[in-house]
Structure 1
Amino acid sequence: MENNYSTQESDQKSLELTDLSFDFLKETAKWAKFLSILGFIGIALMVIFAIFIGVFLSMLSASFTQSSPFAVAPGLFSLIYLVLAALYACPVYFLYKFSINTRDALNARNSDLLTEGLRYLKSHYKFIGIMMIVLFALYIVVIIGAIVVGIAAATLS
């Protein structure tokens, strides 16, 4: 016999959470926690790499003259990696909060915690979606810029 966990609103709409959907949510929360922990590890590695590349490039740029193409601003690469780590931290945090709240909600049969967990999942996907829109817009700008530079280079030579 399958248990049904249901909620009812004032207008008599109901949503039933069957044992199978309950198990799916529980397993999803476990995988979300695993992926968020891997995400936090990735963020830590990005920060370590940012520090390492900053030190390495500052030592390398000291051996080149300022007019050399290898003389780069060492802080620029570190800053880029730190910004990327900060951007990556938001969706990873949202995923982690989803996993914790959903697990706690399912253990306690608490619909408020489940709602909070699902709010974090929505925020996770919304953030990822906005990042993808920005990334595609950036790709379009870079492609158009490359075409313009290519045409300009072809006409000048």
Structure 2
Amino acid sequence: MENIEKNETENALPLGNEIRNYLLETSKWGKFLAIVGYIGIGLFVLLALVMLVGVSYFNPGINNGLDMRGVGLIYIAIAVVYYFPINYLHRFSKEMKLGVIGNDQQSVASGFENLKSLFKFMGIFTIITLSIYALFLFVLLPVSMLFMK
């Protein structure tokens, strides 16, 4: 019995009311943004399916729909990439709310772990995006200038 009480006090979350309120409000906004993100992913997938399947039925004369199928595949790729940060945000919100309301340090730590993963994903994604921009700017732009002469 004594070990259970000791374990509960070790897992207790030593936060003031102001910090608890900030974390709860942050988890609510995070949940809202995650839900909107999941809806956005669903719309991307739906639009991709329309482009993959529907375009060939409505307008079969344009390259057999190859243009739109490519765009549909790009939309699916965007939805897959977009899923990961949205999922991290949703798990952060869920764990943070559970941890703050239940006074559970383990849940709060799990929430912050998901927030760290979200920031890490977005940081790596930003580095990749900036690298692609630099590639276009410093390699493809000068090459295209050669062909314009």
TM-score (norm 2): 0.82
Runs of 4+ in 1 over 4 A off after TM superposition: none
Q: Is the 8 A contact 1:61 1:74 kept in 2?
A: no
Give the gaps of 5 or more residues in structure 1: 1-6, 9-14
Contact 1:95–1:121 (8 Å) recurs in 2: yes
Q: d(CA) in 1 for partners of 2:103 and 2:63?
A: 66
- Between the two structures, name the one with larger relative contact order (CA 8 Å, sep ≥ 6): 2
Q: Does 1:102 find its partner at 2:96?
A: yes
* Unmatched 5+ stretches in structure 2: 1-8
Q: Within 5 Å, give how 1:26-65 maps onto structure 2.
A: 26-59=24-57, 62-64=60-62
In the superposition, the TM-score normalised over structure 1's length comes to 0.79
Matches within 5 A, 1:1-157: 16-59=14-57, 62-64=60-62, 72-155=66-149
Distance change >3 Å, CA 152–CA 61, structure 1 → 2? farther
Query: Which whole-Å deviations, capped at 9, do the CAs of 1:36-76 have from their partners, x for residues lacking one?
Result: 0000000000001111122354347731468xxxx744322
Q: CA deviation at 1:86?
A: 0.5
Q: How many residue pairs get matched?
A: 139
Q: Which amino acid aligns with 1:93?
A: N
Partner deviation per Cα, 1:76-119 (whole Å, 9 max, x = no partner): 21111101100000000000000000000011100001000100
- Aligned CA RMSD, in angstroms, stands at 2.3
Take 1:120 and 1:87, find their aligned partners in 2: how far apart are those partners? 16
Q: Is the 8 A contact 1:61 1:72 kept in 2?
A: no
